[in-house]
């Protein structure tokens, strides 16, 4: 599994092309080649994976049997159906499908946030509000995290 690190400001041009910062590009293992996968995130953002990591993710999902329940089938469908293959072009850019741009409300200023094997794409303004927490809320979140970690 790849482990990406970094937060980057990027620009989306009018053609919907997003250039990958060289600092991030350098973190891709050679084997990745030029093919990535973009998908909708749970929040109003997009998620970028290497093709290999994406296949791992879907393999984990598919380990859960479809027979189990309609909800399982529905979740798997919804989670998977936004995924798109994208190619990195000669100028280190990817062309993000319009549908996904609209979903995450990406316009010009985009933030790439790498964490583990995922790279999230956020509209700058939305990202800032997501991260803007006051102390009270923060300690509540910490408590929640603490609980959920311990109950597994």
Pick one of a second copy, DNA, none as the site partner of residue 139 (Cβ within 5 to 8 A by kind): none
Q: Quick check: 94 and 88 in contact, CB under 8 A?
A: yes
Of 55-63, 64-72, 92-100, 112-120, the segment contacting DNA by CB under 7 A is 92-100
Candidates 5, 11, 115, 138; binder of DNA (CB under 7 A) is 11
In the complex, minimum distance from the CB of residue 33 to a second copy, in angstroms, rounded to a whole number:
15
Strand order in the sheet with 35-40: 4-11, 109-116, 118-123, 46-50, 35-40, 84-87
Q: What is the DSSP letter of 3?
A: -
Is 32 an interacting residue with respect to DNA (CB under 7 A)?
no
Contacts with DNA, 47-86, as mask; x by CB under 7 A: ----------------------------------------
Cβ neighbourhood burial of 1 (10 Å; 0-12, 13-18, 19+)? exposed
d(CA 109, CA 132): 18
d(CA 87, CA 95): 7
Is 25 an interacting residue with respect to a second copy (CB under 8 A)?
no
Residues in contact with DNA by the rule CB under 7 A? 10-11, 13-15, 19-23, 25-26, 87, 89-93, 95, 98
């Amino acid at each position: 599994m790849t482990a990406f690190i970094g937060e980057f400001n990027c620009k989306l041009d009018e053609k919907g092309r997003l250039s990958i910062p060289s600092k991030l590009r350098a973190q891709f293992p050679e084997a990745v080649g030029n093919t990535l996968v973009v998908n909708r995130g749970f929040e109003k953002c997009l998620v970028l994976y290497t093709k290999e990591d994406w296949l791992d993710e879907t393999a984990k999902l598919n380990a859960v049997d479809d027979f189990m329940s309609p909800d399982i089938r529905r979740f798997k469908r919804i989670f998977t159906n936004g995924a798109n293959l994208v190619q990195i072009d000669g100028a280190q850019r990817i062309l993000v499908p319009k549908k996904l741009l609209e979903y995450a409300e990406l316009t010009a200023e985009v933030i790439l946030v790498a964490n583990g094997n995922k790279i999230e794409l956020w509209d700058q303004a939305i990202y800032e509000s997501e991260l803007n927490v006051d102390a009270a809320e923060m300690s509540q979140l910490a408590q929640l995290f603490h609980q959920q970690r311990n109950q597994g």
